[in-house]
Amino acid sequence: MSALQIKKGASKHSAYNLRPTFSDVQERHTLAVLVENEPGVLARVIGLFSGRGYNIESLTVAEVDHTGHLSRITIVTTGTPQVIEQIKAQLGRIVPVHEVHDLTTEGASVERELAMLKVAGTGDKRVEALRLADIFRANVVDSTLNSFVFEITGAPDKIDAFADLMRPLGLTEIARTGVAALLRGD
């Protein structure tokens, strides 16, 4: 206790309120970063994350303007609101970065991911795998006597659910592209 017999942080109106105002809630954010399409840009962007201990859940990169030599990097990351703001500010300071958009906060967005799953099985498991693929609107892109390769497109949660249902039926391998996202509307 202090000399005035007041506990630190005793009330939110106290002059001695030393409680941190930061949120400790982890949030998932999708960031769209428009960059110059030149060697080393991706390494610089990823270096920002790894150098500060931030995690990347999904990463996709593609050239979106051939004449302007611009690429779009879509990054899904998690962190507290303060960490997300810091990431956006630091991304904006990298020289070849043109724009940084937080699709999570700027409005409604559409997120899609492509995955291919190899399921090995015979008999009833094979029939059940085909039935579930039909329900999830997954396409068979390869078939042998012992396995299927399914292609599925959708939200990451849909792909997770499909993979979870395929595991007991003989899921042996999975490849995912990462999230591609755009804001809805104008």
Which of 106, 138, 153 is where one domain is finished? 106
**116-141 pLDDT, tens per residue?**
999 999 999 999 999 999 999 999 99
Which of 106, 124, 156 is where one domain is finished? 106
Question: Which residues, listed in sequence order, are joined to residue 175 by a DSSP beta bridge?
Answer: 116
**50-93 pLDDT, tens per residue?**
888 899 999 999 999 999 999 999 999 999 999 999 999 999 99
Domain with 127 in it: 110-183
Which of 59, 79, 106 is where one domain is finished? 106
Same domain, 83 and 101: yes
Q: Please, are residues 122 and 143 in contact by the beta-carbon 8 Å criterion?
A: no
pLDDT given at position 95: 86
Please count the structural domains in the chain: 2
Residue 125 belongs to domain with CATH number: 3.30.70.1150
| Any domain includes 2 | no
Helix (H), strand (E) at residue 91 = helix 81-93
Phi, psi of 151 (to 5 degrees): -115, 130
72 vs 48: CA distance, rounded Å:
17
**6-35 pLDDT, tens per residue?**
555 555 555 555 555 566 788 999 999 999
